[in-house]
Amino acid sequence: MQQLILPVLLASFWTICTGSADWCYQSQFTCDHQCNTPDKWNLAHSDCGGKYQSPINIVTRKTLKDERLTPFEFNNYQQIFRDTIKNNGHSVKVGVPHLSTISGGGLPTTYKAVQFHMHWGKHGGPGSEHTIDGEQYPMELHIVHMKHHYTDLTTALSDPEGVAVLGFFYERSNSANRKYDPITNALRSITITNSNTSLPSISLAQLIPAEQNLTSFYRYKGSLTTPGCTEAVIWTVFENTIPLSMDQLRVFSDLQFHDGKPMVGNFRPVQPLNGRQVFRSGGAVILVSSTLLLAAIATALGLSQPN
Ligand SMILES: *[C@@H]1O[C@H](CO)[C@@H](O)[C@H](O)[C@H]1NC(C)=O
Ligand SMILES: *[C@@H]1O[C@H](CO)[C@@H](O)[C@H](O)[C@H]1NC(C)=O
Ligand SMILES: [Zn+2]
C-alpha cells in the first residue's frame, strides 16, 4: 500500500508543478515554480521547435537591400480609439479596432491592426526580443496585424503570410515621452495578472515615430514569439526608435506575473536563422544618395562656393 502511495503523490506534484500549458520566461523560473522556460516551449508547443522562429539577431552587414521594400502606407493610424489595456500574465496587451491598416512596405496585401503589446527588461535594462548586431534595446513594441479579409487571428495564423507584425525598439531618453502617459498611467491599475482597465483615447500613430521616419526597416519571415510560435508572420523591424525616459521604462517592471513576482524579462531569446535571408529597405540609403547628388550638382554649378 505504502509503495503505491508515493508514486501517486509524486505524480500529482509533478502535474501541479509542470502543468502542460504552463510556459514561462527564463526570468520566472525558480525551484518552486518549475515552468517551461523558452528552451522547453517545444515540449507542449511543437512549432516552437521549428526552423523559422522569432525573434532573431539582425546582423546588418548580412542584410540584403531590397528595392521592393517601399515605404508603408499607414491608414487610419491617426484614428482615436478607446480600448482596454490588460495584464495577460505575459505582457500588457491592448486590443485595437480593426480600422487601422498597413499596406506597401513590400507586403503582399493590406493588413489590419489587431492588438499591440510590449516586451521589456528589468528596471529599464535590456529587454527587446530582436537585437541589432547583438545590441538588445530596453523594450520592444509589437503591433500585430492580420490580412484584411480575416476576422480572427486564429484563422490568419493558418496562412503562412497571414500575420504581419511591426516591431519598434524603445530607447532611453532624457525627457519623458508625453504621448505614452495614457499607457504608463494605466499600468498602475493592472499590476495583477488578468486585471484590465480602460485606456483614455489614443491612436496608434502617437505611439510610434513619425511616418517620414519609418522608411528604414528590416524584413524577414518568422513566427509568433510566444507559444504556439506559429510560423505565419511577416516581420518588420524598424530602425528608428521610440524615446521613453528611464522612469517610463521602469514602470513596466511594477507589473506582476501571476505568482506576484515582478513582470520583467518577458522576452524570448533570439532564435537561429537557419539559412533565412534578412532584407533591408532602401529608404534611408536613397534619401542620403539624393542629398549627395544635390550637393554634387550644387558644387558643379558653383552654388555652394561662398567665395
Ligand atoms: C476586464 O475585467 C472584467 C472584470 O474585472 C471582465 O469582466 C472583463 O471581461 C475583462 N475584459 C477583458 C478584455 O479581459
Ligand atoms: C525624424 O528623425 C530625425 C532623426 O532621428 C529627428 O531629428 C526628427 O525629429 C524625427 N522627426 C519626427 C517628426 O519625429
Ligand atoms: Zn510580441
Q: Tens-of-pLDDT digits for all 307 residues of the chain?
A: 445 444 444 444 444 444 445 899 999 988 777 899 999 999 999 999 999 999 999 999 999 999 999 999 999 999 999 999 999 999 999 999 889 999 999 999 999 999 999 999 999 999 999 999 999 999 999 999 999 999 999 999 999 999 999 999 999 999 999 999 999 999 999 999 999 999 999 999 999 999 999 999 999 999 999 999 999 999 999 999 999 999 999 999 999 999 999 999 999 999 999 999 999 998 544 334 445 545 555 555 544 444 3
CATH architecture of the domain covering 51-297:
Roll (3.10)
- pTM for this prediction: 0.86
Tell me which residues have their CB closer than 6 angstroms to ligand 2.
209-210, 213
Closest approach atom of ligand 1 to CA 95: 13
Mapped onto helix, strand or coil, the DSSP state of residue 41 is helix
Q: Which of 33, 45, 90, 145 is catalytic?
A: 90
User: Taking the mean position of all CA atoms in its chain, how far away is CA 20?
Assistant: 25
Tell me which residues have their CB closer than 6 angstroms to ligand 1.
84, 86, 196
Name residue 143's amino acid: I
The closest residue, in CA terms, to atom 3 on ligand 2 is 213
**Which cell is 89 given?**
500574465
Task: Report the pLDDT value the prediction gives residue 283, as an integer from 0 to 100.
Answer: 59
The closest residue, in CA terms, to atom 3 on ligand 1 is 196
Distance, in Å, from the CA atom of 265 to the CA atom of 257, rounded to the nearest integer, reads: 11
**Which cell is 174 given?**
532624457
Contact by Cβ (8 Å): 191, 87: yes
Closest approach atom of ligand 1 to CA 84: 13
The closest residue, in CA terms, to atom 2 on ligand 1 is 196
Q: Which of 86, 92, 196, 199, when mutated, tests ligand 1's pocket best, judged by the most ligand atoms within 8 Å of its CB?
A: 196
Name residue 2's amino acid: Q
- Is the previous residue joined to 228 through a cis bond, with omega within 30 degrees of 0? yes
Distance, in Å, from the CA atom of 150 to the CA atom of 163, rounded to the nearest integer, reads: 10
How far, in Å, from the CA of 268 to the mean position of ligand 2? Answer: 30
Q: Which of 207, 234, 212, 209 is nearest to 223 (CA)?
A: 234
Task: Report the pLDDT value the prediction gives residue 4, as an integer from 0 to 100.
Answer: 46
Q: Which of 178, 206, 213, when mutated, tests ligand 2's pocket best, judged by the most ligand atoms within 8 Å of its CB?
A: 213
205 phi/psi in degrees, rounded to 5: -60, -35
Task: Report the pLDDT value the prediction gives residue 153, as an integer from 0 to 100.
Answer: 96
Name residue 145's amino acid: H
Distance, in Å, from the CA atom of 145 to the CA atom of 136, rounded to the nearest integer, reads: 24
**Cα diameter, the chain:** 104
Contacts of 298 (CB under 8 A, 6+ apart): 304
Sheet strands side by side (includes 57-58): 57-58, 131-132, 135-136
Q: Which of 18, 246, 300 is nearest to 120 (CA)?
A: 246
The closest residue, in CA terms, to atom 14 on ligand 1 is 196
Active site residue 258: no
The closest residue, in CA terms, to atom 12 on ligand 1 is 196
Closest approach atom of ligand 1 to CA 195: 2
* Ligand of minimum distance to the alpha carbon of 54: 3
Contact by Cβ (8 Å): 85, 199: yes
- The per-type count for the chain, helices as H runs and strands as E runs, is 6, 16
The Cβ of residue 288 has, within 10 Å, a number of other Cβ atoms equal to 10
Task: Report the pLDDT value the prediction gives residue 72, as an integer from 0 to 100.
Answer: 98
Task: Report the pLDDT value the prediction gives residue 306, as an integer from 0 to 100.
Answer: 41
Task: Report the pLDDT value the prediction gives residue 295, as an integer from 0 to 100.
Answer: 53
Task: Report the pLDDT value the prediction gives residue 6, as an integer from 0 to 100.
Answer: 46
User: Taking the mean position of all CA atoms in its chain, how far away is CA 33?
Assistant: 26
* Ligand of minimum distance to the alpha carbon of 95: 1
* Ligand of minimum distance to the alpha carbon of 119: 3
Distance, in Å, from the CA atom of 57 to the CA atom of 134, rounded to the nearest integer, reads: 6
DSSP E strand boundaries for 193-287:
196-198, 217-222, 233-238, 242-245, 279-280
